[in-house]
Amino acid sequence: MAIKPRSLKRGYPDLHDHLKALDKAGLLITVDRKINKDTELHPLVRWQFRGGIAEKDRKAFLFTNVVDSKGNKYDMPVVVGVLAANRKIYSMGMGCPVEEVQSRWQQAIANPIPPSEVRSEEAPCHEIIIEGGDLDKPGNGLDSLPVPISTPGWDVGPVATLTQYVTKDPDTGLQNMGNYRAQVKGPRRMGMNPSLELRPGIYLHWEKQRARGEPLEAAVVLGGPSCTTFTSAQKLPESLEEMHVAGGLVGTPVNVVAARTVDLWVPAEAEIVIEGLINTDLLEPEAPFGESHGHVNLQEFNAYMDVTCITRRSNAVLTSIISQVTPSESSCIKQVAYETLFMDHLQNALGIKGVRMIKMHEPLTNIRKVIAVVCDRGMPTTEIWRALYGTATLLRAGGKFVIAVNDDIDPTNADALLWAMSYRCNPILDMQVLPHRDQGHGPRSKRNNGEDGSVLFDATLKEDFPPISLPKREFMENAKKIWEELELPMLKPEEPWFGYSLGQWDDEFDEAAEMATRGEYWAYGERIAQRRRGDVSMNTEVRDVDEKK
């Protein structure tokens, strides 16, 4: 029997409203033909980021006929690019013009609005509830969700990429909602990688619970109102809850509901919520997975969550995000938020006058490494240097190359930045090198004891690195045929448009990735479960442990 969708009073759009708005604006492509989530879905959308299509012409994709490599058909659609395929889509999710996005973020952070609590029987995300032994029935657990493989040929299984992990600080009671990838390892088991260079709240919560000898309660939100998703990708102070800032973004309280099996609040209009307990005693191998720094992240020992409940809307839509080699949807979301973060730091925390704009270079470098600071023409030299130092030190690994320019230089054009550096900078007088920097997000080189620096390094490859995190050539070529069959805009392939090995890849990963494309990822999930151990810390690379054998 069909379940009638619930409707709550709210002053903001949910995902379904957002999809209708995108469709009306001509920014949504609906694909009704059969699409394999394990081999075709992400490569198809990938082409609009590697096919020479201008940023303004990129669109969101809605897939209504999703299958896997074993022929299983899913009863819910998948959307990709719905949040930030381009800045226009991002601004529609924010509910304001593109030029007002930065000020909207600043206002929301300064004026958060607490959420509004609703009952379970009112919440759309509780229209369908599966818990307890029912989760063990075929098609009732995580196997009911059409989670795509992001980089076929390299990833060893499906990974939920637009995943908001909700956890609570056991000391303060404050919730954190952060976006961390979640490898789907079994019908009731999923991984969690917390990106430790950002010191995320979930990792601190995990450490506190580990000290208590207790598991960490968590709820994973898959899709929801754009305001809640955007705030999960923003780096906020630990004293500020993301759901409050989400309310600030839309100027009204966001509806939340108590989770069923864990003591947490989740967005009432979420599409899907996965509840569970994150083990704090044992870690297990997680990945390989194509990461946003443009390489495949190999294997690390990371946490895993045992699922206790799955709730969803009766008309749920699974959201996935394009990440990996930039530009991407992931980098667009982060770029808009981070540029606001840098401006607020320079203007308010440091009191620097004269900074007009911060621009983070996106293509291939993934926004963190190359940052342009646009300064007033008459800005004192001492203030320019304060801005450069402040930019380089805000993030542990942000600003490997920080470039101050005037507003006649287009900070989004790398050629213009190189031109300014070539003719307006005397390296003897106008350059500083900051040692002892964190490498941050990217392949972890063993050179110089793992330390990095800011400004002017030889960037040639001097050791084996993980593969480029794009689908292997055969999957991209197959997706290109589908793209052309759908009569989508003509592609202009840009290098690199497929993934290839840079030496740091072994036969086990090749076998596992090939198994994944055949839909046999549960088998590899069971294999890595046999390698659990409690004598390693979070993010320990598996290769480091294996080398000590």
For residue 182, pLDDT over 70 is answered with yes
What pTM does this model have?
Answer: 0.81
Average pLDDT of the chain, as a whole number: 89
Give the dihedral sign, CA 227/231/232/238. Answer: negative
Domain ranges across the chain: 15-324, 330-454
- The 10s digit of each residue's pLDDT in 382-436 is 888 899 889 888 887 788 899 998 888 888 888 888 888 777 878 888 888 878 7
What is the C-alpha separation between 355 and 465, in angstroms, rounded?
A: 37
The two three-digit tokens of residue 462, written as one number: 């001097």
The confidence score (pLDDT) of residue 461 equals 39
Q: Does 15-324 carry CATH code 3.40.140.10?
A: no
Average pLDDT over residues 109-128: 96
Q: Which residue in 229, 133, 150, 137 sits closest to 184, CA to CA?
A: 150
- Beta bridge partners, 454, equal 434
Angle at CA 139, nearest 5°, toward 138 and 140?
95
Average pLDDT over residues 50-70: 94
Q: Does 330-454 carry CATH code 3.40.1670.10?
A: yes
Lowest mean pLDDT segment, chosen from 32-41, 69-78, 349-358, 360-369: 360-369
3-state secondary structure of 34: coil
Average pLDDT over residues 30-47: 97
Q: Which distant-in-sequence residues (6+ apart) come within 8 Å of 450 by Cβ?
A: 439, 444
Lowest mean pLDDT segment, chosen from 234-238, 273-277, 335-339, 458-462: 458-462
What is the C-alpha separation between 256 and 273, in angstroms, rounded?
A: 12
Angle at CA 99, nearest 5°, toward 98 and 104?
85
For residue 188, pLDDT over 60 is answered with yes
The confidence score (pLDDT) of residue 305 equals 98
The confidence score (pLDDT) of residue 502 equals 78
The two three-digit tokens of residue 203, written as one number: 């990792």
Average pLDDT over residues 43-69: 94
The confidence score (pLDDT) of residue 351 equals 94
- The 10s digit of each residue's pLDDT in 434-486 is 787 777 666 777 787 778 777 642 223 335 778 888 899 999 999 999 999 99
The confidence score (pLDDT) of residue 422 equals 79
Decide which of 294 and 160 is more confident.
Answer: 160
Angle at CA 159, nearest 5°, toward 153 and 161?
120
Q: CB–CB of 318/146 below 8 Å?
A: yes
What does each C-alpha distance from 381 to 347, 354, 367, 384, 385 come to in angstroms? 16, 11, 25, 5, 6
Lowest mean pLDDT segment, chosen from 240-254, 261-275, 320-334, 527-541: 320-334
For residue 357, pLDDT over 50 is answered with yes
Q: CB–CB of 310/141 below 8 Å?
A: yes
